[in-house]
Structure 1
Amino acid sequence: MKKLISRTGMKEPLKALVSRARQVVLSRSETSAATGRLFFTSGGQFDDEFRALASGQALFPANASRGDRGTNYFLRRAIHRLEKGLIMRPRKPSFAADYILDTVVSLRDSAPTLNQAEQQWAHDVLVEYFGVVEKRGAIAEAAEIFTAVRPQLAVAGSKTPSVPATRAKAQSLPSFDELVSLLQYRKSTRWFKQTTVPRELLAKAINAAALAPTACNRQAYYYWVFDDPTLTQELAKLPMGVSGFGHNIPVLIAVVGRYRAYSHVRDRHLIYIDASLSIMAFVQALETLGLASCTINWPEIPEREKRARDAIPMESDERIIMFIAVGYPDDTGLVPHSPKQPEAVFGRFNLES
């Protein structure tokens, strides 16, 4: 059929017809949600996201009751909500009655699987909370459960408990000009020295990335590091945008989001938002360690999603946010200039048009 279309000179007219039809459907989709759903889902380009999102919704209750990989996303959100209640001005004499019982039950049931830092944080905030609220109804019941579970928690006494406090006084922060210098210095680098990257440096950068803000402190993503040369070269074939330099990547990192952190479909974009905030901190941290990086786009292409799942043993609710190439920069390699937009284009104030 393709050969016939090509021989009869119909290729360009057909392309024009398809383009016009597409524009008509898109125009109608602006005012008709049903038309938009039909147009955008008929090709299956959202299938992997739908499956992962559904899996995350199914896995959320188990994570909230048992935790996994050392964390409990429901508990992290609940403890953060308590923190926000504790810092309110004026602070209510009683708050969180609608979720405090679920919070302490979740802590009790998942404590054996939680990492020590998470247990310490939950313990310290709950001690503070029960010390200031009026204990009536569900709050009183929750206080009794927490009293019973406290001896089972892996916590240590500390002069500085993990509770809300005033901001620390700045000691030796970089100046604005120094920060801008770092941001300007960092360039997307595609040519690396073929030198082993020490894992301790990658761990430092990941720890720095963990300091980035996330919605309700859930941190529903992680950095999957591939530094085996054979594996790295194989996985570098997965993303687009690495043509011509994929063979030169010493370390490839997949940043993976987890939908099980969210009980509501409305939060489905948070894995992308929160992970991206973290990635920005990660790539800047790499520069301070003498390493360079290139963030690699991961577009929504069903065939590549399948290849990625075949190559990387992700869980059913997990999705790749993006890949990052990392290594020591080759001083002889060129980097794009890529000027950025000026403030006049990039920023707006109030109701400016």
Structure 2
Amino acid sequence: MKPRRDLFGKEYITETIDSFEAIWNLGKDDKANPQIKWFYDVLNEYFSTINLSHPVIATEEARFKRIINEMPSTAFKTQTAKSIPYHRAKQPVNNVNYAQFYDLCKQRRSVRWFLDKPVPRELIDNAILAANQAPSACNRQPFEFRIFDDPEMVKKVVQLPMGTSGYGHSIPVMIVLVGNLDAYFDERDRHVIYIDASLASMSFMLALESMDLSSCSINWPDIEARESKMHSFLNLKPYQRPIMCMGIGYPDPDGLIAYSEKRPLHQIRKYN
């Protein structure tokens, strides 16, 4: 909020402190977890700037202090950088210009022919770290990457989606992106896992390209029989849904890539 109001959040601060107390107690041995630090820092900043004269705010501030004092931690209190809102202008500016980024986007194409060459897990993890910087509703990050690089496991999972029968044998690493609906409590948000996972997937694929790896996004069919097979294969929870699959690896320089002409600008955008 700009400018910040003297009093805000009183309608849900009690629920927030309830959640904080549960997480703080559960994470008693994991106080270095950056998300617990973020939770702590935001609430600490909130109570240091809010008008404490309101009885609900005063009550919850006292409860927040009691939770901290009853189970103190030094895991991050000595850190000077706080996980609170900051001014974008004060952050380092990336020197990637538009032309370079556009070239990377054009370079990324669906590759279906890969080299028989192991993909280092470190590179996959690097791409996932980049993917996790993608925006997600309320920063819930309601997805996870299920990665298969064992050849026998890849042979099994590559058969679960449709459309892989001509090139599936070439895929060295198969990924299933899974959405977690337990991050939400209202039916209005049931579609959010698809939006957030898609945003993360695009960042993931671009990150792969920057490391000389390629990918092929594979549609997940909304067919009950295949849903059941994937749930069984991945041992998914009732609240989890497969979002999409993806084959990744080092591109075979002799393999052809389908030429995909994109629609012209005037067909895909309208102002006002």
TM-score bracket for the superposition, by shorter chain length: over 0.9
Q: Which residue of 2 aligns with 1:90?
A: 3
Paired AA for residue 23 in structure 2: S
Q: Which residue of 2 aligns with 1:322?
A: 244
| RMSD, matched Cα | 1.3
Write the distance in 1 (CA, Å) between the matches of 2:221 and 2:172: 22
Q: Deviations over 1:282-340 (max 9, x none)?
A: 00000111110000000201111111112111111000000010101111101111111
The alpha-carbon deviation at position 155 of structure 1 amounts to 2.8
Q: Which residue of 2 aligns with 1:277?
A: 199
Give the conservation status (yes or no) of the 8 Å contact 1:119–1:155: no
1:231-246 aligned within 5 A:
231-246=153-168
Question: Is 1:155 equivalent to 2:76 in the alignment?
Answer: yes
Identity %: 39
Paired AA for residue 101 in structure 1: T
- Between 1:124-133 and 1:108-117, the stretch displaced more is 108-117
The higher radius of gyration belongs to: 1
Q: Which residue of 2 aligns with 1:138?
A: 56
Write the distance in 1 (CA, Å) between the matches of 2:265 and 2:96: 22
Three-state SS of the structure 1 residue aligned to 2:217 is strand
Give the conservation status (yes or no) of the 8 Å contact 1:105–1:145: no
Give the conservation status (yes or no) of the 8 Å contact 1:260–1:317: yes
CA 1:224/1:156 → structure 2, altered by over 3 Å: closer, same or farther? farther
Question: Is 1:119 equivalent to 2:40 in the alignment?
Answer: no
More helix by share: 1
Paired AA for residue 84 in structure 2: V
The alpha-carbon deviation at position 243 of structure 1 amounts to 1.6
**2:23 pairs with one of 87, 90, 110:** 110
Write the distance in 2 (CA, Å) between the matches of 1:276 and 1:156: 36
The alpha-carbon deviation at position 232 of structure 1 amounts to 0.7
Paired AA for residue 141 in structure 1: T
Give the conservation status (yes or no) of the 8 Å contact 2:23–2:36: no
Question: Is 1:313 equivalent to 2:235 in the alignment?
Answer: yes
Write the distance in 2 (CA, Å) between the matches of 1:156 and 1:194: 48
The alpha-carbon deviation at position 157 of structure 1 amounts to 2.4
Paired AA for residue 340 in structure 1: K
Q: Deviations over 1:246-271 (max 9, x none)?
A: 11111111110011111110011000
Write the distance in 2 (CA, Å) between the matches of 1:112 and 1:343: 53
Paired AA for residue 143 in structure 1: E
1:48-59 aligned within 5 A:
none
The alpha-carbon deviation at position 242 of structure 1 amounts to 0.8
**What is the number of residues matched between the two proteins?**
263
CA 1:252/1:113 → structure 2, altered by over 3 Å: closer, same or farther? farther
Question: Is 1:129 equivalent to 2:46 in the alignment?
Answer: yes
Q: Deviations over 1:40-99 (max 9, x none)?
A: xxxxxxxxxxxxxxxxxxxxxxxxxxxxxxxxxxxxxxxxxxxxxxxx122111111111
- Between 1:144-153 and 1:180-189, the stretch displaced more is 144-153
Question: Is 1:343 equivalent to 2:255 in the alignment?
Answer: no
Give the conservation status (yes or no) of the 8 Å contact 1:123–1:155: no
The alpha-carbon deviation at position 141 of structure 1 amounts to 1.2
In structure 1, stretches of 5+ residues that fail to align are 1-87
Q: Please report the TM-score for the alignment, with normalisation by the length of structure 1.
A: 0.72
